[in-house]
Amino acid sequence: MRYSTAIVGAIAFYASEVVAFPAAAIQHAANAERDAAASRIIEGAVAKFNRKRQASNPGFNAAAQYVSTSGEYEFVAPDIAGGDNRGPCPGLNAMANHGYIPHNGVATIEEFIEGTYTVFGMGKDLGGFLGLYGALIDGNGAEWSIGGPTSAIGATLGLLGVPQGISGSHNKYESDVSPTRGDLYEYGNDYTVQVSQFQQMFDLQSDAATANYDLSVLTPFRAARFQQSMENNPYFFNGPFSGVAVQPAAYTFIYRFMGNKSAEYPEGILNQDVLKSFFSITGDSGDFTYTEGYERIPENWYKRAIGDEYTIPFFLTDLIAAAEEYPQFLDIGGNTGTVNTFTGVELTNLTGGVFDGATLLEGNNLECFVFQTIQNLLPDLVRSLITDVAGAQSALDNELGTIIDMSTCPQLASYDVSQFAQFPGSTGVAS
């Protein structure tokens, strides 16, 4: 398999950087009153990272940060009927409309990495993981669609079935609790803007002159949407990857990437006009119109500063800071078929009692849990996609062996995904 080593390396790196913190925080941060030491560890990690960023603030360089919307990058409306793909990610839709990735909405891993860096200043570590994961889960291993299934992707690299694109990746990539898209099992559609939800977000900043949709606005909005999903979606599911890791990105990416940077506001200001442009919304408040797939990069718009890219560690600090304020974000579980029946899954049950919150931070237990979880999940994750499952597992074992001596770990025989059977909305869960 061409990508087996790269896949394992990316997943192992991402898991060690992203999954490890939530794995501990799920048991500890959510009970901060009972475990003040864990809370101090998390607060210290966030503060240390923020101090490091402030000390190396690269400022603003208009020439380097300007994102062109003219010439080869002029807006061109998608031909949806003719096969152009647009989906639930407004940033990717805008990139395709302006030619920063192919206009048909199908791109390679490398095109996603370069496009997200050029337009938004996404770190290439984060862009690389998201591009690779999308190609594996939503595509054919090399490229994937930002919308649904398309004939533009061939069944290559030994993949089975028709790649579904990000619009068809519910619980694998796309998740419940989107800021503007509806929950799949509530609306039957997870990729078009629900104008009522956009209006709810828009109304959080009523004064156009001072509006700024930063994380102090968007994080409480996420908490409100989380509660709405529990109250309105009987199949609401907060998965260990799609919920804990992907869901926060749907909110942090809005401000971190869409905020217009300047010398006065190097972190960016996300005003009402820019927000509407990126979400393909026109008209006045209370009478908005959404045009599917017409997301635009605004005129006179500037991306993140060079040297201040939004990397995996940067994303982690945002994820953890949000979870400190709203611990429910880290709860793995869901509704059980009726609204307001959210039930959580305990770490001890997932691992057959091998790991628990009380000892997860002792010795190398955390690393062992993360890596053994990957070992147990990867075959299920890729079984429906690739032919060489045994080869992928062998490559995984070899790669993990270079990171940690697995013989010193408690033996995790299996990762009990049957715990998710009680949640009808978990269908399609990847991890």
Whether 327 maps to a domain, the answer reads yes
Alpha-carbon distance of 80 to 142, in angstroms, equals 23
What is the pLDDT, as a whole number, of residue 427?
A: 81
Host H or E run for residue 312: helix 312-325
Whether 56 maps to a domain, the answer reads yes
Minimal CA–CA distance to 359: which of 320, 310, 409, 304? 409
Is there a contact between 388 and 373 (Cβ–Cβ < 8 Å)? no
Is there a contact between 100 and 115 (Cβ–Cβ < 8 Å)? yes
Tell me phi and psi for residue 213, to 5 degrees: -85, 70
Alpha-carbon distance of 25 to 41, in angstroms, equals 10
Is there a contact between 428 and 393 (Cβ–Cβ < 8 Å)? no
Other CB atoms within a 10 A radius of the CB of residue 157 amount to 19
Minimal CA–CA distance to 178: which of 87, 112, 106? 87
The whole domain housing 283 covers: 4-426
Whether 431 maps to a domain, the answer reads no
Per-residue pLDDT reduced to its tens digit, 25-75: 434 344 444 344 445 555 555 566 566 666 667 789 999 999 999 999 999
Residue 289, classed as helix, strand or coil, is strand
Q: Where are the alpha helices (DSSP H) in 80-194?
A: 90-97, 109-120, 124-138, 184-187
Beta carbons within 8 Å of 118's beta carbon, 6+ residues apart: 67, 100, 303
Residue 32 maps to which CATH number? 1.10.489.10
Strands 333-334 and 343-344: antiparallel
What is the pLDDT, as a whole number, of residue 192?
A: 95
What is the pLDDT, as a whole number, of residue 405?
A: 62
Other CB atoms within a 10 A radius of the CB of residue 430 amount to 22
Work out how many domains the chain is built from and give that number.
1
Which amino acid is residue 122, in one-letter code?
A: M
Whether 109 maps to a domain, the answer reads yes
Tokens of residue 259, six digits: 């905020």
Strands 106-108 and 237-238: unpaired
What is the pLDDT, as a whole number, of residue 31?
A: 44
Half-sphere exposure of 24 (CA within 13 A, CB side): 22
Is there a contact between 116 and 303 (Cβ–Cβ < 8 Å)? no
Whether 260 maps to a domain, the answer reads yes
Minimal CA–CA distance to 173: which of 142, 145, 152, 195? 145
Distances (CA, A) of 410 to 242, 250, 345, 384: 27, 35, 21, 29
Distances (CA, A) of 247 to 37, 89, 153, 172, 183: 27, 12, 26, 11, 12
Minimal CA–CA distance to 266: which of 280, 252, 256? 256
Whether 186 maps to a domain, the answer reads yes
Host H or E run for residue 228: helix 215-232
What is the pLDDT, as a whole number, of residue 171?
A: 81
Whether 378 maps to a domain, the answer reads yes
Q: For the chain, which ranges sit under pLDDT 70?
A: 1-56, 154-161, 357-407, 428-431
Other CB atoms within a 10 A radius of the CB of residue 146 amount to 30
3-state SS record for 361-417: CCCCHHHHHHHHHHHHHHHHHHHCCECCHHHHHHHHHHHHHCCCCHHHCCCCCCCCH
**Residue labelled with tokens 């984060």:** 126
Q: Where are the alpha helices (DSSP H) in 15-140?
A: 20-27, 36-55, 62-65, 90-97, 109-120, 124-138
Whether this prediction's pTM lies above 0.75 is answered by yes
Whether 37 maps to a domain, the answer reads yes
Is there a contact between 100 and 317 (Cβ–Cβ < 8 Å)? no
Q: Using the 8-state DSSP alphabet, how is residue 73 labeled? A: G
What is the pLDDT, as a whole number, of residue 27?
A: 41
